[in-house]
């Protein structure tokens, strides 16, 4: 059994992978460490053969993870690194390591999943958009603040009242705080539409839109293009890498 661990800016996702293992993703907020409830779950596991990790959450959580895994299983985590070419995917960045490993793994998973042009939207603390052609060629991408970061940055510089909830129904609002809430969702959704249409023109066919990340379900209702929600996309990419013997 292998333990696959995806550490994002805010959340940690994990699952067991191997023969007779159920593919069952779990999600926790990590806050720069390993939460006690996660530690309690891991204490119930059989010692994994490998601990394979994607980490964009920083060194603090990486250090905490290593302390825990060495204490529990006397195993050190193995951190994946972005490669220029893998599994038919060729990334656009001239310096591969400047592309976040989570985005790289999402590209690998998306290519395996759909075998056609696709737009990958990862709506997390940051919102990333990556464009992939059917032949595995990565065209590049864009990064914006995520929903909460976008809202907080605006509230910090204005006297707009605190936002209590996401808007429902119409894509616009009739009060100031709801207008900020709607704007954060509609802005990301509108960019997804623009990139989807540009990718369709580039590929010569309608692409797939794959949506993942902690705020994916909040953004999905605002989209006006069909989207497939795949919350374990990065973990699927990790599975591809492990199964390939890396």
pLDDT of 161: 77
Q: Which residues contact 190 (CB under 8 A, 6 or more apart)?
A: none
- Taking only the tens place, the pLDDT of each residue in 103-119 is 999 999 999 999 899 99
Residue 84 DSSP class: S
Instruction: Report the C-alpha gap between 190 and 245 in whole angstroms.
Output: 39
Residue 102: active-site member: yes
Contact (Cβ atoms closer than 8 angstroms) between residue 244 and residue 154: no
Is 13 annotated for ligand binding?
A: yes
Q: How far is CA 229 from CA 67, 218, 236, in A?
A: 34, 11, 13
Q: Does 153 carry a binding-site annotation?
A: no
Judged against a pLDDT cut of 90, whether residue 74 lies above it is answered with yes
Q: Per-residue pLDDT averaged across 141-163, rounded?
A: 88
Residue 224 near residue 195, CB atoms below 8 Å: no
For residue 168, is pLDDT > 80? no
CB 95 within 8 A of CB 76: no
- 24 in a labelled binding site: no
Sheet holding 78-79, edge to edge: 26-29, 11-17, 2-7, 50-55, 78-79
Q: What is the mean pLDDT of the chain?
A: 94
Which among 102, 130, 215, 232 is annotated as catalytic?
Answer: 102
Which of the 8 DSSP states describes residue 115? Answer: S
Cite the beta strand spans of 87-183 per DSSP E: 89-90, 118-123, 126-132, 138-145
55 is in an annotated binding site: no
Q: Is 12 annotated to bind ligand?
A: yes
Q: 216-236 pLDDT, tens per residue?
A: 999 999 999 999 999 999 999
Please identify, in words, the CATH class of the domain defined by 2-79.
Answer: alpha beta
In which band, very low, low, confident or very high, does the pLDDT at 50 lie, cut at 50, 70 and 90?
very high
63 is in an annotated binding site: no
Contact indicator for 64, 17 with CB cutoff of 8 Å: no
Higher pLDDT, 95 or 171: 95
Question: At residue 215, what are phi and psi to the nearest 5 degrees?
Answer: -105, 15
pLDDT confidence band for 171 (50 / 70 / 90): confident
Q: Does domain 85-239 have CATH number 3.40.50.1970?
A: no
pLDDT of residue 115: 87
pLDDT score for 155: 82
If pLDDT is split at 50, 70 and 90, which confidence band does 67 have? very high
Instruction: Give the start-to-end residue ranges of the domains of the chain.
Output: 2-79, 85-239
Which of these, 93, 92, 87, 128, lies nearest to 110 by C-alpha position?
Answer: 87
Indicate if the pLDDT at residue 167 is higher than 90: no
Mean pLDDT score, 204-212: 97
CA distance 98 to 78: 19
Same topology, domains 2-79 and 85-239? Answer is yes
Q: Is 8 annotated as a binding residue?
A: yes
């Amino acid at each position: 059994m292998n333990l696959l661990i995806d550490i994002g800016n805010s959340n940690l996702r994990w699952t067991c992978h191997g023969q007779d293992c159920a593919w069952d993703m779990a999600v926790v907020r990590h806050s720069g460490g390993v939460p006690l409830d996660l530690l309690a779950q891991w204490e119930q596991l059989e010692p994994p053969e490998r601990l394979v990790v994607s980490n964009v959450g920083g060194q603090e959580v990486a250090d905490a993870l290593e302390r825990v895994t060495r204490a529990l299983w006397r195993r050190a985590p193995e951190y994946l690194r972005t490669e220029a070419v893998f599994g038919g995917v060729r990334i656009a960045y001239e310096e591969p390591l400047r592309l976040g490993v989570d985005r790289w793994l999402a590209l690998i998973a998306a290519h395996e999943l759909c075998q056609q042009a696709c737009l990958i939207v990862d709506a997390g603390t940051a919102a990333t958009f990556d464009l992939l052609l059917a032949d595995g060629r990565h065209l590049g991408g864009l990064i914006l603040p995520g929903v909460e970061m976008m809202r907080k940055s605006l509230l910090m510089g204005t006297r707009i009242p605190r936002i209590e909830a996401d808007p429902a129904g119409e894509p616009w609002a009739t009060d100031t705080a709801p207008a900020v809430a709607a704007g954060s969702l509609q802005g990301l959704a509108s960019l997804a539409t623009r990139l989807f249409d540009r990718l369709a023109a580039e590929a010569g066919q309608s692409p797939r839109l794959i949506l993942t990340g902690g705020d994916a379900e909040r953004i999905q209702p605002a989209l006006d293009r069909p989207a497939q929600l795949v919350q374990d996309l990065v973990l699927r990419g990790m599975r591809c890498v492990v199964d390939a013997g890396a």
